[in-house]
Chain A
Amino acid sequence: MPVLICPECGAENDLTAESCQECGASLLDVLPSTLSNQEELGQDDLSVFSQDDHDLPDLLNALKREDDLQVEEGDQGGYPEMPEESPSEGLDFGGAEDENIPDWLKRIRERASREKDSSGEITQKIKAARESLEGGKDVEEHENYESWIKYLRVQGIDKGAGKPMEAESPDDNQDADEGDSDWLSKIKKAQGKPLAIDRDEVSDREGDSLLQWLVALEDKGKKPKPILEEEEEVQGKHTEDTLPTLISSDQDDPQATQQINKSELRFELPELSVSREEQAQADQLTATIVDERASRLPRKQESRSFRWLVRLILGLLLIVGLSLSLFTGGKAELPQGLLQPHTEALMRWAKALPTDASLLIIVDYAPGYAGELSLIASPILKQVVHEDVFVFMMSSSLSGTLLGGRLLDQLVAEDRVTDLGYFPVSAYGAYGMASRTTSGDSALSLPELGKGLPSRGVDGVLLLSDSYEGARMWIEQLSALIPETPLNLLAAAQAGPMLLPYWESGQVTGLIAGISEAAGMERMLSGSEVVARRWRAYQTGVLLLMAMLVVGVIFNSDSKAAESLRGEQ
């Protein structure tokens, strides 16, 4: 396909182009030239090399790419391109012009010869080497050039021998110098270590002189050490597993190549940077794969039934112990140390409450805790709820209305109890309740909640709660909205310790939590035996729990437990 070759940069242009697409030079006087298929293929696609070229080592290909790039970019520092079919042509020290050199290459060389600074350092060195061969060249230039060649040879030797490449220049480890082009960066990355090819600084290199090496070639002396290891000398032949040498070792034909076994090439892989999370994910994946592949014994059914059996035995033990304590123990003597200051405070408030007081009772416990709460609340309610007392009841648990009704059933007449209803969301309900007041009972009126506290207020609040969270919410709301009204808590044992600071800070007047504090309360009251009849059963349960803790320590404190834990970790 005929194209127009730019005389300035050598770029290919369409026949219809009037100026070069790369450098803008005028193409009016340029005659179209027809490239051979191979050249066209090589020039059109830099990455599509011939079979020979595919066998070239990466370095040479990179050098060739540099040629092409520099020619395209009009870079004056480039060295002449090497034709695809003869990769070593650029290093042809035979001296004779090859008739197969394409026209564009010839033009470039001509231009390079005309303009002193048109070619780069490497090209200049090649020229210098040629001239030195012809005689009368500066030794220093030869040394610079030969040192570069030496470096290439050393790299090839190291690669072939599998040794890490030697960096002879302190600048070797600098990546992405300003003077480096992309191809050099790529080579550096691919090789793992940057090449020491630095056009700006080509330091003096030690080693054999290029001249000597070339002389050896001419004199058919000592075979130069090939850059790449050679397995067998096959001229022009190579298999898929071999690569040709960079420098010929054939004494007769310097351009002949030798086969190198690819398997003996060692390339240093680039370092991977793996983040901590990626490493963790990889470890997890590896662990999962290992775990999946690990052989496992079939699960034994006995272990499951063993756990069920242990629980059954413990359950029976608990039932038998509690039953014996309940039905055979009788009334127990309650210990003296159970009476707490906050319990005493609540008792004092209950005694001081007037007979015609109005009380607000808030039910905030689940039916499962009804037994415990009724044990705690019944003696207090018997003391405070009289015939003349008005009771307002509200609940923040789903069955609270029913539970509160049962509690008050025998204590006060139905007409003296006002059910303020159920508030679905506790805190909002408290806020809504406190933000409006009513004169008496009223039904729910949608969309607003119509119920609230009585307008004249109440003389005291009794909060029955099974959890710290619910009680805390009510305490916070009520102590902020009606701070003058005494607030007393009757709570389940699990909520007691967390509610104690509210009594200590004065937000709560009194507190009874759990059966143990109810037992202390009962000691103060006369005529009540509710807790005393259940005290032995309570003690039995607690002692059984303590025994299980101790037994668990004794029988499970063996190496197996620790090993299994470590293994799982």
Chain B
Amino acid sequence: MTWSLVGWAVIGLSALMLVIFNILFKNHKAYPVRRFPAVDRLTASRAAALERGKKRAVILGHELWSPAYPGLGLGALSIVSPLLEAEQVKAGGQVIAAGDGGLLLLARQIAVGRYRDGFSKSLIESDLGVILPGMTPLSFTAGLLPELRSQPYGSMALVGNVGPEAVLWAEAVADIKEHVFAAAGPITSQAVLFPSIRDLIMGEGVFLLPGLLKARTSDRAGFLTEDILRMGCILLLVIGGILKLAGIL
């Protein structure tokens, strides 16, 4: 019995729970989706920005795959589709920024697919609004800031693997009293964004975001699985701490 086997057991159990809950929630009452006021304000601000003819920005971060946060890039991509709903696609003005080639390609593919599904006349390749302002975090900042200052942005969503420089982007939009939302992954970015913006989702809430925007059966199954894993982890930590204090471990 090694710790790696314990890890594999957890992975296997998680996969089993995902499958079972996915099947159960298709035909029966599903796990309720918890409400985040920050997410509600995000959707409201995007709708308001659309109504006022302002642009909406979604920043997907610097890396598709990060060693420290493996699922963060994919999680960021997952929210592109629910954000690109019919009204947003039809009206145009949606800007998606990514700092990584892989992230850019996949985000562009999703955006093209959504526009095409909506038969949107805004499907002009050059105006699709998926940009790569820079290849490194600070060059990304140098490329993005003029874009944010020159155009009227009504809403900004920061998701994925962003660094501490994200606070500069947030301030550029917050300066004009527009809404900024962040579901940043890395610890450092969470720390710098915390005093700067109100609507900040931290920790594993980042991975909940696609389901909070548009809950599907698989999202609800994922919520319940994560909750069970989290409770199990808490329980193990508490028990381990007690046993350690008692001298058993």
> What residues of chain A have their CB less than 8 Å away from a CB belonging to chain B?
276-277, 280, 284, 287-288, 291-292, 299, 303-304, 307-308, 366-368, 397-399, 425-427, 467-470, 472-473, 476, 494, 498, 565, 568-569
Contact = CB atoms under 8 A, between A and B. Distances in A.
B110 interface: no
B51 A292 contact: yes
A467 B198 CA distance: 25
A87 B66 CA distance: 78
Contacts of B135: 398
| Majority secondary structure, A binding face | helix
Contacts of A303: 177
Contact of A468 (B33, B37, B40, B68): B68
Given A307-B175, A427-B67, A284 B136 contact: no
B67 A472 contact: yes
A276 B175 contact: no
Contacts of A467: 163, 186, 188
Interface in B48-79: 48, 51, 65-69
Contacts of B215: 277
A469 B48 contact: no
Contacts of A307: 175
Nearest to A552: B195
A494 B164 contact: yes
Contacts of B40: 280, 284
Contacts of B66: 469
Contacts of B175: 304, 307-308
Contacts of B138: 366-368
Contacts of A292: 48, 51
B68 A472 contact: yes
Contact of A291 (B33, B48, B68, B69): B48
Contacts of B176: 304
13 contacts: A277-B215, A287-B44, A292-B51, A299-B177, A303-B177, A368-B138, A398-B136, A425-B65, A427-B67, A468-B186, A472-B68, A473-B67, A498-B187
A56 B188 CA distance: 73
A308 B175 CA distance: 8
B247 to A, nearest CB: 20
Contact of B44 (A284, A299, A368): A284
Contacts, number: 60
Nearest to B70: A427
B47 A288 contact: yes
B177 A469 contact: no
Interface residues of B, number: 29
Contacts of A366: 136-138
Contacts of B198: 565, 568
B233 to A, nearest CB: 17
A292 B48 CA distance: 8
Contact of B43 (A284, A470, A473, A565): A284
A398 B177 CA distance: 36
B32 interface: yes
A398 B67 CA distance: 17
Contacts of B67: 426-427, 469-470, 472-473, 476
B68 A288 contact: no
Contacts of B35: 280
Interface string B212-226: 000100000000000
A469 B136 contact: no
A177 to B, nearest CB: 26
Nearest to A473: B67
Nearest to B102: A425
A427 B66 CA distance: 9
Contacts of A277: 33, 215
B46 to A, nearest CB: 11
A468 B187 contact: yes
Interface in B165-180: 175-177
Contacts of A425: 65
Contacts of B32: 276
Contacts of B163: 467
Nearest to A287: B44
A67 to B, nearest CB: 40
Q: Which 9 A-B pairs have the closest CB atoms?
A: A473-B67, A469-B68, A427-B67, A368-B138, A494-B188, A472-B68, A398-B136, A307-B175, A469-B66
B216 to A, nearest CB: 12
A565 B136 CA distance: 35
A306 B138 CA distance: 27
A242 B201 CA distance: 60
From B51, B67, B176, B215, name the one whose CB has the most chain A CB atoms within 10 angstroms: B67
A565 B197 CA distance: 12
Nearest to A308: B175
B106 to A, nearest CB: 15
A15 B213 CA distance: 62
Contacts of A569: 37
